[in-house]
Amino acid sequence: MHIWVDADACPIVIKDILYRAVERARVPLTLVSNMALRVPSSTFIKTIRVPRGFDGADKRIAELMQPGDLVITADIPLAADVVRRGGRALNPRGELYTEDNVQEHLAVRNLMQALRGGGENVGGPATFNATDRHAFANQLDRLLNARGPS
């Protein structure tokens, strides 16, 4: 398993959880971003910088990920692509996207986008909090432990 991170919008606290987890589990982690990132020095952690532009990091992750890989993203279209291609997608709030739920998430996202485009004030996501951080860490631990000993 390789862990890929859509790093431009990923909360710092989630990146910190990932850094510790990959060291413990000895799993490769690649953060993909359109800006320079500061990461700990590690044989397990690397970065890829993509040119600025619409969905550059998403496209690079989709090109590089393999079946069985884990992608950390809040981008639902990317999550749907990852699941379709045999990977797993986990959002920073700890929700795992699966074949059973990703299409529903995509439909809701598209509906909300259409409502906002029509001038509706539908709000945005709730503020990221400690509950989200714990849910992410717990789900990540489950996924890493399910792959067996390193």
Q: Which of 50-54, 112-116, 141-145 has the lowest mean pLDDT?
A: 112-116
Over residues 84-98, the pLDDT tens digits come to 999 999 999 999 998
Residue 67 CB neighbour total at 10 angstroms:
9
Question: Three-state DSSP class for 13?
Answer: helix
Exposure string for 16-31, b = 16+ CB within 10 A, e = fewer: ebbbebbeebebebbb
The dotted CATH code for 3-146 is: 3.40.50
* 19 vs 41: CA distance, rounded Å: 10
pLDDT of residue 36: 92
* 87 vs 66: CA distance, rounded Å: 7
Strand order in the sheet with 45-49: 45-49, 29-33, 3-6, 70-72, 88-90, 96-97
Over residues 9-68, the pLDDT tens digits come to 899 999 999 999 999 999 999 999 999 999 999 999 999 999 987 788 999 999 999 999
